[in-house]
Chain A
Amino acid sequence: GAVVSQHPSRVICKSGTSVKIECRSLDFQATTMFWYRQFPKQSLMLMATSNEGSKATYEQGVEKDKFLINHASLTLSTLTVTSAHPEDSSFYICSARDPWAGGPGETQYFGPGTRLLVL
């Protein structure tokens, strides 16, 4: 099946620094990617929808200036957490949709996630 990778798998950074997380579709081109955040023992919460070549659409309550999303190519989307603070510590998951996989309801392919710890 289709594979989505994320890098890094885990990262520790100091408060006030920025961290970039990459999400790649390895064997397909993804016109749409999604970024989720998951706090411990909680569900996945959608942060933003990323469409190749256009600005991301952020969910209500998500600061677009803090969580910068760039979908510069059909195989890569990046999430940059700017001026990270301890409350940004979380598990970040991306998913990608293969437009050739079928119609609505076809599987979104999830990355393995990135664990961010801000000290």
Chain B
Amino acid sequence: AQTVTQSQPEMSVQEAETVTLSCTYDTSESDYYLFWYKQPPSRQMILVIRQEAYKQQNATENRFSVNFQKAAKSFSLKISDSQLGDAAMYFCAYEWDSGYALNFGKGTSLLVTP
């Protein structure tokens, strides 16, 4: 079974600074997909960024980027120029195939201070 581990229950960052959220996973598959989701207080799940395992290039979406280390099974999220609106729970997730559900980590609560 695939497991996703987020070892940081809480993180704090000052506005305009950079923060990195960690995620590791365990799988025996060679092709899979990794995601970071944001869950604000409204609890609506919002996709932040997606990475295909077969792609060596790290995904980026504006201020959000990932450091994908396939051999180490590590998938960290870097948020640059943090904004107050970035405060939320962040979940790392793994997907093997489209017929399967997402497997989520326990989440990291991100606090952004002025």
Contacts and interface: CB of A to CB of B under 8 A. Distances in A.
* Binding between chains A and B: yes
Nearest to A91: B43
Given A97-B98, A104-B33, A43 B107 contact: yes
A110 interface: yes
Given A46-B101, A49-B101, A97-B98, A107 B44 contact: no
Interface string B1-37: 0000000000000000000000000000001010000
Interface string A30-42: 0010101010001
B99 interface: yes
Contacts of A34: 101-102
A93 B45 contact: yes
Contacts of B43: 38, 91, 93, 112-113
Contacts of A105: 33, 50, 52, 95, 98
Contacts of B62: none
Contact of A42 (B33, B103, B106): B106
B42 interface: yes
Contact of B50 (A32, A43, A93, A107): A107
Given A34-B101, A43-B105, A113-B44, 18 more contacts: A32-B99, A38-B43, A42-B107, A46-B102, A46-B103, A93-B43, A95-B45, A97-B98, A104-B33, A104-B97, A104-B98, A105-B33, A105-B95, A106-B98, A107-B47, A107-B50, A110-B45, A113-B43
Q: Which 3 A-B pairs have the closest CB atoms?
A: A105-B33, A110-B45, A104-B98
19 contacts: A32-B99, A34-B101, A34-B102, A38-B43, A42-B106, A43-B91, A43-B104, A43-B105, A44-B45, A44-B104, A46-B103, A49-B101, A93-B43, A104-B33, A104-B95, A105-B52, A110-B44, A112-B43, A113-B44
